[in-house]
Amino acid sequence: MFDEIMGKFADSPGQREVVRLLLERGFSVNEAGRVVSGGIEIPNTGIAREVGVDRRVVDATTDAILADPELEQIFRNISSIPSLMDLAPVLDLTVLTVHVAAADEPGIVAKVTTLIANHGISIRQTISEDPEFTDEPKLHIITDEPLPGDLLNQLTSLEFVRKVELE
């Protein structure tokens, strides 16, 4: 789906960057063509500055989104989910990042979370990056307590795990 969306902006690298930002941040486009997060409008100048384009490129991108029924349906309904990853150090939480070999393999989240649960560790949040939107998707798991070494060894021995990181 990501490739299909980006393909609609193949002739405009600037618009592609705007679309990428909207998807990564979970920003939607309202009926007036304004970029929003929930009910909060995000100025086009801020979007433009973030991706390094002129404000008019953002305008043209939102116009193109609203002119395409498929894109309009996607971008009118997308939303963001708050992440505990940046708050983890402040809240004394642990962030486990799992780099996988094949992100579209079924059961990755289930196998990793089962191992953690079997150690009696509570999971506060799980964020699985979509292989459609990211070149190297990762699984992020935020836990209430540190992960013991034997669990890390079990995780790294899973056939689909390339690398694990702890924060």
The CATH number covering residue 117 comes to 3.30.70.260
**Poorest-confidence range of 68-77, 129-138, 150-159?**
129-138
pTM of this prediction? 0.77
> In total, how many domains does the chain have?
2
- Edge-first strand order for the sheet with 40-41 is 28-29, 35-37, 40-41
Last residue of a domain, one of 77, 110, 142: 77
Question: Beta strands 161-166 and 138-143: pairing type?
Answer: unpaired
* Average pLDDT of the residues of the chain: 93
Nearest in space to 141 (alpha carbons), one of 106, 102, 97, 93: 97
Question: Would you place residue 115 in the very low, low, confident or very high pLDDT band (cuts 50, 70, 90)?
Answer: very high
Does residue 82 fall inside a structural domain? Answer: no
**pLDDT value of position 17:** 96
Task: Assess contact for 119 and 151: CB atoms under 8 A.
Answer: yes
42 domain-assigned: yes
Q: Confirm whether 83 is domain-assigned.
A: no
Same structural domain, 118 and 92: yes
What is the extent of the structural domain holding 31? 2-77
Q: Is residue 57 part of a domain?
A: yes
